[in-house]
Structure 1
Amino acid sequence: MKMIPSQWETNRLTIKDMTQQEITTVQELYEQGSYIHQWDGGSLDKKYASRCFTEGDLPPGGTRAQFNIQVIRLKDKGNLAGLLTTYHGYPTPESFYINYLYMDKELHKKGLGREVVSELLSIVEQAEYREVRANVAIKNWPALRFWTGQGLNTIQGIYGDKEYGADKYADIELVKVF
């Protein structure tokens, strides 16, 4: 199985594997995005960055070797701009899973997320994966618009509560086939 590079670039960004020294700042960025839990029913994971670095955020039967956590930095300033976690080979060996993508709230609406995903999709396709998947909370309309706009526009499945309600949650798994 081919892994995405440990470091890669876009026009304005550098993306590289997270180091142990970055755990605290990455955790702060992750917590900045905790508002998504109003849409997915989850709760804040106070050890998310550390857990991802040591154990990974794994699917059933997954291994740490197939998981990747990468930081996204602005090329011009070197500032932490975002976080990307991915899994290589789930649910099939030909599948590439985008677990989590978050860009600093101060950088929203600047096209940086699109820039990351565009290059990532190119890398994944060159690595000969057959599909890319992402799981999105149905109530997270901005993320649904974003991912479908990036070509992940086929619904693989809907998981979670069967009925709508303020305290009910479900996710939609979106797929782009190459």
Structure 2
Amino acid sequence: MKIKMIPNHWKTNRLFIKDMTEEEIQPVQELYEQGSYIHQWDGSSFDKEYAYRCFIEGDIPPGGTNAQFKIQVIRLKGNEHLAGLLTTYHGYPATESFYINYLYIEKEFHRKGLGQEVVSELLSIVEQAGYREVRANVAIKNWPALRFWTEQGLDTIQGIYGDREYGACKYADIELVKVF
């Protein structure tokens, strides 16, 4: 299978999603920082250059290329308010795999169905593009995200990675998969 990228611009009922531009780096970084509370669950460190790094280099897996990475902004239709951020990788760990690296919806819009709306349309686009599976990595301590992703159909455990024992300063991730 040849790697097919998701569109540069797509939409849902209430949102439009498009590739991030250079002018959006600072507001996207601010949005990323708003979601930095997840580091308490995944043990990662805060990345003060996340948006810039993603725009220039990508957030790519070992052996990956920037050409297969996308960082997209999620905006409300009508007023174009920046409501979220989506980063994805096409073709990892196998050519027929689509990886959702990061999805964040602005706190003000939590529990309003926007995340579900994005993922529902994204899954449709990915399936139509010929991918056989979608994957997402979630911190085991991030219960809201585990519930969210399993409700979206990413309910098969591919693997568990990280510390082997539980502890306040111990962390592990679970890789969830949806097979088409």
TM-score, normalised to structure 2, is 0.99
2:96 to 83, 94, 97: 94
Residue 20 in structure 1 maps to residue 22 in structure 2: yes
Residue 81 in structure 1 maps to residue 79 in structure 2: no
Q: What is the rounded CA distance, in whole Å, between the counterparts of 1:100 and 1:45 in structure 2?
A: 13
Note the alpha carbon deviations across 1:121-148, whole angstroms, 9 max, x for none: 0000000000000000000000000000
Q: What is the rounded CA distance, in whole Å, between the counterparts of 2:79 and 2:154 in structure 1?
A: 31
2:152 alignment counterpart: 150
Q: What is the rounded CA distance, in whole Å, between the counterparts of 1:148 and 1:20 in structure 2?
A: 33
2:141 alignment counterpart: 139
Note the alpha carbon deviations across 1:93-117, whole angstroms, 9 max, x for none: 0000000000000000000000000
1:106 partner amino acid: E
Q: What is the rounded CA distance, in whole Å, between the counterparts of 1:51 and 1:166 in structure 2?
A: 30
2:31 to 13, 29, 35: 29
1:73 partner amino acid: R
Q: What is the rounded CA distance, in whole Å, between the counterparts of 1:161 and 1:2 in structure 2?
A: 35
Note the alpha carbon deviations across 1:29-85, whole angstroms, 9 max, x for none: 000000000000011100000000000000000000000000000002100000000
Q: What is the rounded CA distance, in whole Å, between the counterparts of 2:39 and 2:120 in structure 1?
A: 26
The total of aligned residue pairs comes to: 178
Q: What is the rounded CA distance, in whole Å, between the counterparts of 2:22 and 2:174 in structure 1?
A: 32
Moved over 4 A (4+): none
Gapped runs of 5+ residues in structure 2? none
Provide the secondary structure at the position in 1 that maps to 2:131: coil
Q: What is the rounded CA distance, in whole Å, between the counterparts of 1:2 and 1:158 in structure 2?
A: 28
Q: What is the rounded CA distance, in whole Å, between the counterparts of 1:6 and 1:106 in structure 2?
A: 26
TM-score, normalised to structure 1, is 1.00
1:177 alignment counterpart: 179
2:177 partner amino acid: V
1:84 partner amino acid: L
1:45 alignment counterpart: 47
Provide the secondary structure at the position in 1 that maps to 2:24: helix
- How big is the alpha-carbon RMSD for the aligned residues of Structure 1 and Structure 2? 0.3
- Percent of aligned pairs with the same amino acid: 81
Q: What is the rounded CA distance, in whole Å, between the counterparts of 1:46 and 1:62 in structure 2?
A: 23
1:44 partner amino acid: F
Residue 10 in structure 1 maps to residue 30 in structure 2: no
